[in-house]
Amino acid sequence: MARNRLSGPLADPAGEVGYPADHPERVGFFTDTSICIGCKACEVACKEWNLLPEDGLDFTGMSYDNTEDLSGTTWRHVAFVEQERPTVDLGMPAMGRDSDQVRWLMSSDVCKHCTHAACLDVCPTGALIRTEYGTVLVQDEVCNGCGYCVPACPYGVIDIRPDTGGAAKCTLCQERLGAGSMPACATACPTESIQYGPLDELRARAERRVSELHEQGVTSARLYGHDPDDGVGGAGAFFLLLDEPEVYGLPPDPVVTTRDLPSMWWHAAGAALTAAAMIAGSFLGRKR
């Protein structure tokens, strides 16, 4: 077990941190972006349920995306990508230049609830914990706002809330799960683009959906974050995308930074010993 503490596949992250064997199944999100209509119901439901303040009403010039980013006060973010590309001429009225049409890619982003969560690993206070559902949660009353989790997250998810000074991100609606309900965003999603459930079930469903789309000729469909062998040991919230991950603002192949931590400590120890030897050596001569 200890072998995969820092990286690699890990079947039961909740069990690994000591929840008894009868802990609930690991749950997560499968976000199928091929049926996202960009309505932002998830963003609104998340803000409402979690009592998150608004971030200001600004125009960003980024298509319909005026949310910009996940942040301490925005835990769902719908990305809008407008792509002009040549399409088959169907004789239909088209937007854009004659031969080009606009293709819309929309995707609702969220915390990935990583199997190996860098935010949790680096948190010095123990504010970030693994829950019995295998998700990653900030305990606000413990967090001292050191901000270490922020640059540690390979997806740029967690952030310090300006109004409280504490770190904050998606909780997967921990208190709704406890009451047997689905997370607010999944409940609000009108197209079932956001699907919530036991992770194993979602992974199987996602595989079927991808093959279905491939059969229909949508060869660009691919899964992102579903693989337990990837750099974060598989994400608890994974996606079906229609283009490269970076197009949606996602890192193509993130790796949990703590994978290299043992090597980092060895190098630091070597350097500290070098410093000690150097200082000691400086005192060898007899001259004052």
Partner 1 sequence: MTGGADAYYGRPVIKPPVWKVPDVPLYLYLGGVAGASSTMALLADLTGRDRLACAGRLAAAVGATASVGALVHDLHRPLRFLNMLRVIKPTSPLSVGSWILAPFSGLAGAAAASQLTGLLPWAGRASATAAGVIAPAMTTYTAVLLADTAVPGWHEVYRELPFVFAGSAVSSAGAVGMLAAPQESAPARRMAVGGAVLELLAARRMDRNAGMVGEVYRQGRAGAVLRAARVLTGVGLGAALLAGRSRVARVAAGVCLNAAAAATRYGIFEGGRESARDPRYTVVPQRPA
Q: If contact means CB under 5 to 8 A according to the sort of partner, which of partner 1, ligand SF4, none does residue 77 touch? A: none
Establish if 129 lies at the interface with partner 1 (CB under 8 A). no
Give the contacts of 53 (CB within 8 A, at least 6 positions apart).
73, 163
Residue nearer to ligand SF4 on the CB measure, 144 or 274:
144
Helix (H, G, I), strand (E, B) or coil at 252: coil
Residue nearer to ligand SF4 on the CB measure, 171 or 193:
171
Residue 46 annotated as binding? yes
Residue nearer to partner 1 on the CB measure, 12 or 69:
69
Residue nearer to partner 1 on the CB measure, 53 or 151:
151
User: DSSP label at 125?
Assistant: S
Position 44, amino acid: V
Tell me how far apart the alpha carbons of residues 261 and 152 are, in angstroms, rounded to a whole number. 12
- Is the distance from CB of 160 to CB of 167 less than 8 angstroms? yes
- Return the residue matching tokens 């608890």: 236
User: From the CB of 47, what's the least distance to ligand SF4, in Å?
Assistant: 18
Which bin fits 145, alpha (ψ -120 to 50), beta or left (φ > 0)?
Answer: left
Tell me how far apart the alpha carbons of residues 135 and 154 are, in angstroms, rounded to a whole number. 16
Establish if 16 lies at the interface with partner 1 (CB under 8 A). no
Centroid of chain to Cα 208: 23
Establish if 88 lies at the interface with partner 1 (CB under 8 A). no
Residue nearer to partner 1 on the CB measure, 195 or 258:
258
User: DSSP label at 233?
Assistant: S
Which residues contact ligand SF4 (rule: CB under 6 A)?
111-114, 117-119, 123, 125, 127-128, 136, 138, 143-149, 153, 155, 157-158, 167, 169
Establish if 55 lies at the interface with partner 1 (CB under 8 A). no
Q: Six-digit token pair at 217?
A: 């000729």
Residues in 68-87 at the binding interface with partner 1, rule: CB under 8 A: 68-69, 79, 81
Residue positions forming the annotated binding site for [4Fe-4S] cluster? 36, 39, 42, 46, 111, 114, 119, 123, 143, 146, 149, 153, 170, 173, 185, 189
